[in-house]
Amino acid sequence: MALADSGSGETVQWAAITGVIATVSVFAIAQGLSYPLLSFILQRQGVSPAVIGLSAAMTPVGFILSSPLIPGLARRFGAGRTALTCAVLSALVLALIGWTQDVYLWFPLRFLIGVVTNPLYVLSEIWVIALAPPSRRGRVMGVYSTIISAGFAAGPLCLLAVGTEGWAPFLVGIFAFVFCGACLALVLRRLPRVDEAGHGVSVLGFMPMAWLLLSTVVVAAGFEQAVLALLPVYGTHYGIPEARMSALLSMMIAGNIAMQVPLGLLAERLTARLVRFGCVSVTILGCVLLPVLIETPLIWPCVFIWGAVSYGIYTMSIIELGERFSGSTLVAGNATFSLMWGVGGILVAPLTGGVMDVIGASGLPVTLGAICLALAVATVARRRMV
C-alpha cells in the first residue's frame, strides 16, 4: 500500500517498509538467540572461555570477509534473489550447527553463518533506506534501529521459554530464518531496484568517498562492543556486584531501544550530521561522568542516555548514508558499513582491555572518550575544510 504524505507530496510505501523491517527484526531475534545458546552449550561441554570467545568471533569474521562480495552478488543475481537465498542458507547452516554439536566443526560453521546472514542484513537495511522518503527518513530509520535492538534483546528471552538443551532452541532459530525469508518474499515485488548492472561501486572504491562516515561506524561499533564486554569488569574495580552491573547494562540497552525514534525525529528537524555530532559530544560527556557517578544513583539515567546517544551515532550515520548515496553506490556503502562494524568490534574492545591492563579500570572511559574525541575533532576539521 502506497500512501501520499500530505505534508511533502511524497509517496510512502508503508507495506514494503513494514515487510522489510519485519524481515530484519526476525533475523535479529535469530541472531540474538544463537550467540548465548551456543555459548551455553559449549560451557556445558567444558570448553574453556578462551575457546568459546574464539568460536563466537568466527561470525563477525564472516561478516567482514563477506562484505566486499555483497555488491557483486546483488548485481549478478539481483538483490532480492540474493537475500532470499541467504535466508534459506542461514536456516540450513543453523540446522548443521544443531546437528553437529562439536566445538571444532562449529568454527567453520559459525564463520559460514556470518557469511550467509550478512547479505540478508545489509540488503534489508538498504531497502529500508531507499524506501524511506527524505522528509521521514529520520523517524523510519529510528523505528528500524529500535526494532533491530529489540529483536537482538528478545533473542535471549526466547531461551527462557524453550531452554538451551535439545533441538527446541535451534528449531526456533531455524523457523525464524525461514519466516524471515517468507516476509521478504511477500514484499519483494514492491522493493526498489538497488542493484543496477554496469554501474558497480566496490567496497574499496566506496571507502574514499565517505571516510569520515566510515570512521563513525568503527567508533560506534567499537564503543558498543567494548562497553558490553568490559563495563562489568569496570564495575568490579568499585566492588559493584555482578547483578547490579548486569542491570546497568540492561538500562543502557533500554536507552538504545527507547531513544532512536526521538533522535530520528530530531534529525528531520536539524540534520543527521548535526545530531550525530551531538551524540558524539554527549557520549564523550558520559565517559567523563562514568567514574564520578558509578557509585551514585545518578548512574542509572547516565547509562540510559549513554546507551541512547552511543547507538544514535550509528543511526545518524545510516540516515546520512541514505541522504548522500543511492542505487549501487548505496549497496556498496552499506556493505562497507558492515565491514567497518566488524572492524570496530574486533579492534576497539581489545585495545580498551589492553589500556585497562596498563592503567587500571579508568582505561575504559579514557580509551572510549579519546576515540570519540578524535572523531569529534575530525568532524569539525572536515566541516571547516568543506
Residue range 326-346, pLDDT digits in tens:
777 888 888 899 889 888 877
**What does the alpha-carbon distance between residue 281 and residue 269 come to, in Å, rounded to a whole number?**
19
The pLDDT value recorded for residue 88 is 92
In terms of DSSP H, where are the helices of 132-210?
A: 137-162, 168-187, 203-206
Instruction: Convert the pLDDT of each residue in 291-321 to its tens digit.
Output: 999 889 999 999 999 999 999 999 999 999 9
* CB-based contact 172:162 (threshold 8 Å): yes
Closest CA to 368 of 213, 216, 219: 219
User: Looking at the DSSP assignment, which residues form a beta bridge with residue 11?
Assistant: 4
Greater pLDDT, 93 or 17: 93
The pLDDT value recorded for residue 185 is 86
Q: What domains lie within the chain, and their CATH numbers?
A: 13-198 (1.20.1250.20), 200-385 (1.20.1250.20)
Q: Which residues of 118-147 are buried (b: 16+ CB within 10 A; e: fewer)?
A: bbbbbbbbbbbbbbbeeebbbbbbbbbbbb
* CB-based contact 80:46 (threshold 8 Å): no
Q: Which residues of 233-270 are buried (b: 16+ CB within 10 A; e: fewer)?
A: ebbeeeebeeeebeebbebbbbbbbebbbebbebbbee
pTM of the model: 0.82
* CB-based contact 164:37 (threshold 8 Å): yes
Greater pLDDT, 19 or 295: 295
Greater pLDDT, 11 or 256: 256
Q: Is the pLDDT of residue 200 over 90?
A: no
* CB-based contact 130:12 (threshold 8 Å): no
Three-state SS for 3? strand
* CB-based contact 137:129 (threshold 8 Å): yes
Q: Which residues of 280-293 are buried (b: 16+ CB within 10 A; e: fewer)?
A: bebbbbbbebbbeb
**What does the alpha-carbon distance between residue 249 and residue 258 come to, in Å, rounded to a whole number?**
14
* Residue 149 C-alpha from the chain's centroid: 8
* Residue 253 C-alpha from the chain's centroid: 13
Q: How far is it between the farthest Cα atoms of the chain?
A: 61
CA atoms within 13 A on the CB side of 216: 32
Tell me the average pLDDT of the chain. Answer: 84
CA atoms within 13 A on the CB side of 345: 20
Instruction: Convert the pLDDT of each residue in 48-93 to its tens digit.
Output: 766 776 777 788 888 889 988 888 888 888 888 898 999 999 999 9
Nearest-5° Cα angle at 297, 303 to 357: 55
Instruction: Check residue 201 and report its DSSP letter.
Output: -
* CB-based contact 355:363 (threshold 8 Å): yes
Question: What are the backbone angles phi and psi of residue 339, rounded to the nearest 5°?
Answer: -60, -45
